[in-house]
Amino acid sequence: MASRSFGGLSVSRGGGGGGGKKSLSARNAAVERRNLITVCRFSVKTLIDRSCFETIDDSSPEFNNFAAILEQILSHRLKGQVTWFGYESPRSFWDYIRVACRKVSQNCICSIENMENVSSSRAKGRAWIRVALMEKHLSEYISTALRDFKTTRRFYEDGAIVLGEEANMLAGMLLGLNAIDFSFCLKGEGLDGSFPAVIDYTPYLKYIQSSDSISSDEEELRTLGSSGSESSTPENVGPPFLMDENSWFNKCKRVKQKYQLTLEQKGYLEELLRLRENQLSESVSQNKILLQRIEDSDLAHKLEKEQLEYIIVELQDQLKSYQSLDQLSAEVSLSQTSLDPGQLQEGDGKQDTLNLMSEGKEDTPSLLGLCGSLTSVASYKSLTSLKSNDYLASPTTEMTSPGLTPS
């Protein structure tokens, strides 16, 4: 850096040029990003307005402009592809979309890759825009790609729109396009990737004069007409009034169209609300029926549980009685071994009497209800064999009979 002094005034060269260039470059990049995002918002609005009156297809100038704007946004500061020899070849935004949108469920990436009439990368990117709009998933594709920050960082340089704060605005703006029904032909001239897309800014640069400025112009024209020549007054005053009348007529027409559109939307929302209320009432009634069924099933389960508990108690009592009868039969058999033959005959007669009494005994109803399907089981046969010795002589009776006195 060199410096010179001229009478106390110090002048330096070569120190501030770099900083000025950097600030100018940053300012230009910010203006470029802001311009593209603003024009994209305008194009989305014009598309939505146009869709109210006609179908959007490849011949629509609003769509062609929107596609060019979106292509410019996705190609903003896109890195080139470095070859083996160190050269950097240009890239298309389709290379980024193909990698970053793989995670979208039921995506159209593979179908676009396999299209026969689309060969270049730029043409595939334009076909993807059309297919995503027809599927109403363009906003979802862009949001998924922007969330993959690592891939986005790999494909774009610093200062790109997709790496800045404007990316979130872009995904939100494209969400409104899901309400439009698009119809495209994927074999037309719009997919020609040999020429870059050009944005037409003229639809968004129309200047509408306010009522205050119009009145001030009229006053100025009147003043000029009164002070100027006579020939200038009638010729110059007429056009502003005609322009004012046309502007008011166009404005009234636009308001009428918006009013009709609002009425249609109001009718649609009212019908949708009525359908949702009917669905809600049906859901509430079905919920009540299901709750009643649950209560009935709970009550039935409680009753069944009580019955099973009662049967278990009866079975426990029967088991205890069978165990006591087994003990008595064992004692009787031991006592009969020590008796003489006459006493044995008498004991056999008593045993036969007890057997006859046991045959006349009925089973417990609850036991029969529980074990009705177990008649063929061996364990049930053992229970029936035990019933033959149900009613045996009690020890006190045997001891008091004269035939059981010890010899």
Q: What are the DSSP calls for 306-333, one per residue? A: HHHHHHHHHHHHHHHHHHHHHHHHHHHH
Q: What is the pLDDT of residues 321-361, one digit of tens each?
A: 888 888 888 888 887 776 555 554 555 555 555 454 444 44
Write out the two tokens for 141.
Answer: 């594709």
User: In Å, how far are 13, 21, 25, 190, 370 from 18, measured between CA atoms?
Assistant: 11, 5, 11, 43, 99
Nearest in space to 68 (alpha carbons), one of 161, 189, 198:
198
H/E segment holding residue 379: helix 378-386
Reduced to 3 states (helix: H, G, I; strand: E, B; else coil), residue 370 is: helix
pLDDT at 218 over 90: no
At residue 13, φ and ψ (nearest 5 deg) are -130, 145
At residue 345, the pLDDT reads 53
Indicate the pTM of the whole model. 0.49
Nearest in space to 147 (alpha carbons), one of 160, 130, 129, 162:
162
Nearest in space to 139 (alpha carbons), one of 101, 82, 182, 96:
101
Give the pLDDT band (50/70/90) at residue 252: confident
Cβ contacts of residue 386 below 8 Å, gap of 6+?
Answer: 322, 325, 326
Question: Which residue type sits at 44?
Answer: V
pLDDT at 244 over 80: no
Q: What is the mean pLDDT of residues 55-81?
A: 92
Percent of the chain with pLDDT over 90: 32
Going from the N-terminus, what domains does the chain have, and what CATH number goes with each?
28-179 (1.20.58.900)
Q: What is the pLDDT of residues 265-304, one digit of tens each?
A: 888 889 889 888 989 999 999 999 999 999 999 999 999 9
CB neighbour class for 66 (10 Å; exposed up to 12, middle 13-18, buried from 19): buried
* C-alpha–C-alpha distance, residues 397 and 351, integer Å: 13
* C-alpha–C-alpha distance, residues 354 and 390, integer Å: 8
